Amino acid sequence: MTEIIRLTAAEIAAKVQAREVSAVEVAQAHLDRIGAVDQAVHAFLHVDTERALQAAKAVDEDVAAGRPAASPLAGVPLALKDVLTMQGAPTTCGSKTLEGWQPPYDATVTTRLLAAGVVILGKTNMDEFAMGSSTENSAFGPTRNPWDLDRIPGGSGGGSSAALAAFEAPLAIGTDTGGSIRQPGSVTGTVGVKPTYGTVSRYGLVAFSSSLDQAGPCARTVLDAALLHEVIAGHDPLDSTSIDTPVPPVVAAAREGANGDLSGVRVGVVTQFAGDGYQPGVSAAFDAAVAQLRDLGAEIVEVSCPSFDLALPAYYLIAPSEASSNLARFDAMRYGLRIGDDGTHSAEEVMSLTRAAGFGAEVKRRIILGTYALSAGYYDAYYGSAQKVRTLIMRDFEAAFAKVDVLVSPTTPTTAFKIGERADDPMAMYKADLCTIPSNLAGNAALSVPCGLSEDDGLPVGLQIMSPALQDHRGYRVAAAYEAARDAAQGGPLIHRVPELEVAH
């Protein structure tokens, strides 16, 4: 089992097609791993054993019959964030409001995964309605970081990142509204990618902030992330925000980058993402990564993006405002939790009782903030002003990308903090997304690749690589080149150094 679960997704797919191992054996090995360690990690909210084995069996039947593989990832297991719908499985969004709800349709991402022969193991834990940076806001308990079970795995997609780091799955899907793929990737030593907004369908993704939400691939290697990216991306007529444009050549770029030559690539270091508030070990690992990029032939240029300093407050007006609108659908009238339906309460009272009981503190905080920002007399001062800042951030990116091919920064200012450490300090929690939020506001592509362990605490640090909209492949090329050099320097993949789990935690 240990040998199988430590393979990359690309290696698993190749061995399945070569009949060196069956897809059923691969799925069972990962299900066994989940059974062995997930009580300690709590990455999964739902494990779909029977359907996973059935899907794996179908792949083996195709291989035995000599039929072409459905995709380069046929037979590879995957963990699906519980904000994407899947028929026959609960979709809770980490909230009591949707506990036990089974959607009547698949998200487009889910449909594409199943059509590609990807074996979905189950649904992963998350901050409630994707609101958080630690996966402590889940109504079903926190997920723990496999590097240190007393620490957070990032959020909101901590379940997906923890599943990867614990070797419970080689692939996962996350969603990124303000950093919810990249920040978990950073603190768990995994790869997380936010594609260009509109290039991966949002149909069936339960909305938090419609102009910011974006599903994307999570993996342990850059190539695996690229392979998954090509499976889930592409135009979808069911999503009105979907862009009808070819998928960027991310797999080709990852393979090219692995050759290790970045000659002619201009890399911009964002000066706003440095200084006070950054953990010394994070800054040191980032500086070493930039030096490595230079050694690979890249030209390093300092770039100033002054409006990035305003990204955090702008985001925390725009996102809660859209959440206030989107979460109005959970009204206890049609589906989900229903409190007070005993014939003695009016519909308005049932709605109020249900929302009070069903939503957690962070969700309530954001709904209240967003409702206030949208209210008469305050709309222009708050929401309107935040949208103007958003335009300034887009202009900063445009000016920067006129000078360089990609931008880099630390993914998050610190390594994984201890569970409960920031529970009573929302502002400290929000600052975890300081570096990731600008790319969500602008809609461009960004990814996080591990860049070593912090000298402060021995925990993973992430290197964020930002690319222009629809130029996602630029980030993959740079990330793959850096990853290859990093692994060569340290004698193997960083993720293989994750400590053995203390399953009795």
Q: 36-63, pLDDT tens digit by residue? A: 999 999 999 999 999 999 999 999 999 9
Q: Is 81 a catalytic residue?
A: yes
Which pLDDT tens digit goes with each residue over 423-465? Answer: 888 888 999 999 999 999 999 999 999 999 999 999 999 999 9
Whether residue 504 is predicted with pLDDT greater than 90 in this model: the reply is no
Give the pLDDT mean for 350-371: 93
Cβ–Cβ < 8 Å for 367, 359 = yes
Whether residue 276 is predicted with pLDDT greater than 80 in this model: the reply is no
Catalytic residue among 134, 138, 180, 201: 180
Whether residue 235 is predicted with pLDDT greater than 70 in this model: the reply is yes
Cβ–Cβ < 8 Å for 76, 144 = no
Say which residues have a Cβ less than 8 Å from residue 20's Cβ, sequence separation at least 6.
none
Please provide the average confidence, as pLDDT, over all residues in the chain. 95
Structure confidence at residue 174 (pLDDT) = 98
Q: In whole angstroms, give the CA distance from residue 432 to residue 136.
A: 14
Catalytic residue among 156, 307, 439, 448: 156
Structure confidence at residue 502 (pLDDT) = 55
452: left (phi over 0), alpha (psi -120 to 50) or beta: left
297: left (phi over 0), alpha (psi -120 to 50) or beta: left
Please, which pLDDT band fits residue 505 given cuts at 50, 70 and 90? very low
Structure confidence at residue 487 (pLDDT) = 95
Q: Give φ, ψ of 387 to 5 degrees.
A: -70, -30
Q: Of 49-63, 219-233, 326-340, where does mean pLDDT reach its minimum?
A: 326-340
Catalytic residue among 81, 201, 321, 467: 81
Structure confidence at residue 1 (pLDDT) = 57
Q: Of 33-42, 305-314, 496-505, where does mean pLDDT reach its minimum?
A: 496-505
Q: Per the confidence metrics, is the pTM higher than 0.95?
A: yes
Please, which pLDDT band fits residue 328 given cuts at 50, 70 and 90? very high
Which pLDDT tens digit goes with each residue over 111-153? Answer: 999 999 999 999 999 999 999 999 999 999 999 999 999 999 9
Cβ–Cβ < 8 Å for 155, 132 = yes
Tell me the chain's radius of gyration from C-alpha atoms: 21
Domains of the chain, earliest start first:
2-309+390-497 (3.90.1300.10)
- Assign 269 to helix, strand or coil: strand
